[in-house]
Structure formats: C-alpha cells, structure tokens
Structure 1
Amino acid sequence: MTTKRRILQTLAAAALGLVNAAQAHFQVLYTEETALRRGGNMEFALVFSHPFSGGPTMAMPHPRAFDLTSRNGGEKTDLREYLRPVEWQGLANRATAYRASIPRELVRPLGDHVFVLEPEPYLEAEEGLYIQQFTKLIVNVGGVSGHWADPVGLPVEIQPLNKPYANWTGGVFRGVVLAKGEPVPYAKVEIEYLNHAVDLEKGAFGSKAKVSAPHPAFEILSAYADAQGVVTVGLPRAGWWGIAALDIGETKTHKGKRLSQDAVLWVQVKDIK
C-alpha cells in the first residue's frame, strides 16, 4: 500500500468520527461586493448556517475576534465595536447572528483588505462536538493588488493562490490549507454554494433557491487537498462559494468535548459577459 493511500485511509477514518451534523455547518461572512472601484461604508453579515439550503441557522455566540488587515503597514484593526446582534431568518428558523457596519475610512485605501472572523466554538449539542471556523474574506479597492496571498497567522487558514475577489465563471480557484502556517497534506475540504439571496436589511436568506441539486450529494461538495496541501475548486456558477478545510487545528478539545477547528475562505465569482 502506498504512503498516499495510507494517509487517505487514515483521513477518511478520522472524517467518519466527525458527525454528520457537523458537516455542512458553515460560517458565512458576507458582504455584497469584494471588488470595489473605491472604498466606502461596508455592510457585513456574520451567520452560522447551511448556505446551500438556507438553513437551519445556528445561534452564534459573540465572536472572539473580528479583525481587518489592510495594505498600509499590515496592522490589524479590531472591528468588534461595530458588531451588533440580530435575529437572522433562515428558511427553517431564526437564530442569533451578527451585522457589522464598517465605516468608510477603514476601507478607503487602495489595495487589499483582509477581514478575519474568529468565532467562539459552537456546541453541536446533539453530538457533543464543538465547531470553530476561522473565516476569511478579502476585499480589493481600486484594482491595486496587494497582500491577498499572504497568510494572516491564524491557527488554521486557507492561503489563496488566486485572487478570491477576481474569478470568472468556468475558472478554478486554488488555495493552500495551512495549520500553524504549515501546509496540511490531504486535508478534507468541503465546498458549498451560497444558494439563497442575502437580504442584509431584513437579516434573512431569500426563500427562492438559485439552483436545484440533482441529488443530496451535490449540496455539499467534498475534496481532498493534495500532498502539498493545495486544494483546487471549480467555479461553475456566479455568486459566492465557501471553502472549508475540516478539523485541521492543533487544538482538539474544548470544555472537555471534541473540537473541530476548520479554516473557511469565501470566494466571489462573476459571469463572463
């Protein structure tokens, strides 16, 4: 048996230890547009839900951190003061989520702005499992390329190899799965399409799905990173695609229960016209 096959079998066995309920839980970090001609006020939604099906939505504790790193000096700005709790309406239920109104002066400079969310671990009570998804979203102002490919030093993260804010339909996106700054070979990855419109003002997912899955297996796509930790994702449709590398963190327990630390990156895709 080859080394690669042994590693894959080990990972598959470990993945079975993650309960089905944990799969498809996805930390959404949403804003309407990530490629901006000029900086301005930005509105964000922070929702822990199931993006393809529009729910159910899980109640979020107050985030541990919500930061912005911009190209000017690379210093972090703490954005927690801009967070406010809301009752988010999914298709199946309402649950606590967060909105953030980021002022223009923070997103005015040309270049890349990296938004990072570190949520409090969420208890999936039915299975006795905590989930913590470190989530990144990268915004560009003015087309001036900056530090979009740089890791930001999270315990787990996905390092982009393509600009996350400049992707055409029919293209591919590549990223490196990292834990403590090192590639994670054969990491298990889930990919999910944000299949319902996001109404920031109402705090709700739209009731109408954009696409219909031909089979439940298509609702959450699965892949493995390669031996160098690189994952490649096809982008067949415009909109938002969430990429999550599962259970790759060094910390495996929280409050005496199992903890899955996941890395999430959101990628926006545009139609070719």
Structure 2
Amino acid sequence: MFKNILSFVAISLASSFFASAAQAHFQMVYTPDLLRERGGLINLKLPFTHPADSGYVMAVEPPEQFYVVKKGKKTDLLANIKTSTWTSAANTGDAYEVDATLRGLGDHVFVMQMAPYFEEAENVYIQQIVKTIVNVGTLPTDWNEALGLTAEIVPLTKPYGILAGGTFTGVVKSNGQPVPFAEIEVEYVNYDPDMKNNRFSDTANANLPSDLFITMTIYADANGTFTFGIPKAGQWGFAALGVGEKTELNGKELSQDAVIWVQAHDFKAVK
C-alpha cells in the first residue's frame, strides 16, 4: 500500500513537471535587431525551445509556411529554409534558419507556421503560428495589420518600438475574430542568442526572483485584448494558447498557438 502511494505521488509529480515544461514551448523567429536603420541581408534563427531558461530544444519537422509581408505584398520564403542546430543549457537539438533581404523602408512581417509537434508528456500536438516584425528606417507600414491567420496576435503597440518600463498591447484573433479571455504565456529571452555559433549564451541577462517568472501567464479580456508591462530591454515572446480553429490531429488534441515577438529598448545615455 505504501509503495503504491509513493508510486502515485512520483507519477503525479512527474506529470506536473512535464505539464509545466510543455506549457513553456516557444517557437522562435529571432534576429537581434527588430528596429534597423538600414535594410539588407539578415539571418533569422528558428529553434523550438525555452528562451527564458535556456531549456530543452525540441526537434520538429520543417515549417509548413514561412513568408514575409511588406506593404501588403506576400513573398514566400519557404524554399530558403535551411536545416541547422541550436544549443541550449539542456541539449543540442535540430533547428532551422533562414536568410532574408530587407528591401526598402517599412515593416517586414515574417510569418512562420511550424509543423505540428507531438508533446508526449501532454499527449497533445502543438502548432505555433509566429510573427516577428522587423522595421527599417522607423517608417511604420504593416505592423498593426491583421493577416487573418488561424491563430494571430495583432499588435496595438509597435512591437519594435517599446521602451523598457513601457507596455505592449495586442489583440488575440482567430481568422480575424477576437478570442475572448485567451490564455497567454509570456517569456523573456534571458539568454542572448549567439548567431554565429547557433546557441544561447551561458550567462543570463537577469536573475529571476522565482521560477514563477520563467513563464508568466496573463489573460486577454472579453474583446481578446491584453496589455503587459515590460520591465527590461530585450526580446519578449507572447503565446496565446489553443486559439486556432483546428483542435484535433491524428485523433489527439491539437493546440494552435499564436505567437508574436517584440523588442524593448533602453534609453541611451547622453554622451
């Protein structure tokens, strides 16, 4: 009897651990500077990982979609995707990356629809639809345009024009319609990505006061709108969970998540 109780407790603790880990997955579409003075060639890293704690890198199939929208024009970049690896404090895993050319001033809205990933610990598929918006020359164009994605966060704050200590506001939508009371996970990229060596840095940017702050959870209001105060410069990810229209794959639950990456900046000291 005592052994059965211990086994039950161990299984429960393990289930809780893996459930917490599963909730923290973030598909990154990362380039260091979302606000750029000039265009030209950039490289974007695409690991599926845990950026707040340099956590496990998960292997996924190649993306289903990858494209950029500029002034309403969509350019398919899926053929440019290259296989790669990414190293975290936990492991080195398969990943992807892509080179893209920023042409002209304005917003370049990169959109990635990852292939569904089966999370065994949760017995659920995860598919994230991600937006990363890179601006050239401070000319705003497409940043607040809804693209009608099955899972999407439409920013109401320029995602590249946030000051540390300010706020980011967005609307969670599915096929253009707001998703009331959506659950949103928030993570800080606490370990700087090393673009040359495809890895997270060994040193954190901030000492979090508790593991509670590795993945923070907020909720949208009845209109699908949310606001989050951003305390520190750097890039932040927002993932609205399970807001897409598809909810099943291969007889199992499918969570289609909307993800957006934003960047906050410090005031620069006067020289």
What's the TM-score once normalised by structure 2's chain length?
0.90
1:29 paired residue number: 29
Counterpart of 1:59? Answer: 59
2:252 alignment partner, one of 254, 257, 265:
257
Partners in 1 of 2:255 and 2:21 — Cα distance? 12
What one-letter code is carried by the residue in structure 1 that aligns with 2:197?
A: K
Tell me how far 1:92 sits from its aligned partner.
0.7
Q: 1:127, CA displacement in angstroms?
A: 2.5
Question: Aligned equivalents of 2:21 and 2:166: distance in 1?
Answer: 31
Question: Identity of counterpart residues, as a percentage?
Answer: 45
Aligned-partner Cα distance in 2 for 1:118–1:195: 24
1:68 is aligned to 68
Q: Give the equivalent residue in structure 2 for 1:225.
A: 220
Alpha-carbon offset, residue 209 of structure 1 = 1.1
SS in 2 for 1:262: strand
Report Cα offsets for 1:16-75 as digits up to 9, x if no partner.
9x943421011111001111111110110001001101111101210001100001xx22
Q: What code does the residue aligned with 1:139 have?
A: V
For the residues of structure 2 that align with 1:28 and 1:265, how far apart are their CA atoms? 9
Question: Structure 2: how far apart are the matches of 1:223 and 1:251?
Answer: 23
Tell me the C-alpha RMSD between the 2 structures: 1.4
Which residue of structure 2 lines up, in the alignment, with residue 11 of structure 1?
none
What secondary structure is seen at the aligned counterpart in 1 of 2:200?
strand
1:216-255 deviation per Cα after TM superposition (whole angstroms, max 9, x unaligned): 1111111110111101011100000001101111211111
Letter in 2 for 1:78: D
Letter in 2 for 1:44: L
Q: CA deviation at 1:126?
A: 2.6
Query: 5+ residue gaps in structure 1?
Result: 1-15
Q: How many angstroms apart in 2 are the aligned matches of 1:208 and 1:237? A: 16
**CA contact under 8 A between 1:38 and 1:108: conserved in structure 2?**
no
| Residues 1:151 and 2:146 aligned together | yes
Question: Could you say what secondary structure the match of 1:77 adopts?
Answer: strand
Quote the Cα distance in structure 1 between the aligned partners of 2:104 and 2:118.
38
Q: Supply the distance in 1 between the matched residues of 2:145 and 2:19 (Cα, whole angstroms).
A: 32
Question: 1:71-105 deviations in whole A, cap 9, x for unaligned?
Answer: 1xx221111122111121111101111111113xx
What secondary structure, in the 3-state scheme, does the structure 2 residue paired with 1:30 have? coil
Q: What residue is the counterpart of 2:9 in the other structure?
A: none
Counting only pairs closer than 5 Å after superposition, residues 8-27 of structure 1 correspond to structure 2 as: 19-27=19-27
Matched letter for residue 111 of structure 2: V
Check whether the contact 2:181–2:224 (CA below 8 A) recurs between aligned residues: yes
Amino acid at match of 2:74: K
Q: CA deviation at 1:109?
A: 1.5
- Are 1:43 and 2:43 an aligned pair? yes
Aligned counterpart, 1:196: 191
Specify every segment of 5 or more residues in structure 2 that has no aligned partner in the other structure, as ranges: 1-15
Flag the structure with larger Rg. 2
Preserved contact between residue 22 and residue 131 of structure 1 (Cα < 8 Å)? no
The structural deviation recorded for 1:110 is 1.1
Any conservation in 1 of the 2:148–2:174 contact (CA below 8 Å)?
Answer: no
Q: How many angstroms apart in 2 are the aligned matches of 1:61 and 1:92?
A: 20
Within 5 A, what are the aligned runs for 1:64-103? 64-71=64-71, 74-103=72-101
Q: From the superposition, tell whether residues 155 and 186 of structure 1 become closer, same or farther in structure 2 (CA, over 3 Å).
A: same
Runs ≥4 residues deviating over 3 A? none
2:12 aligns with none
Indicate the residue corresponding to 1:185 in structure 2.
180
| CA apart distance, 1:116 | 0.2
Q: Which amino acid aligns with 1:218?
A: F
Q: Secondary structure in 2 aligned to 1:244?
A: strand
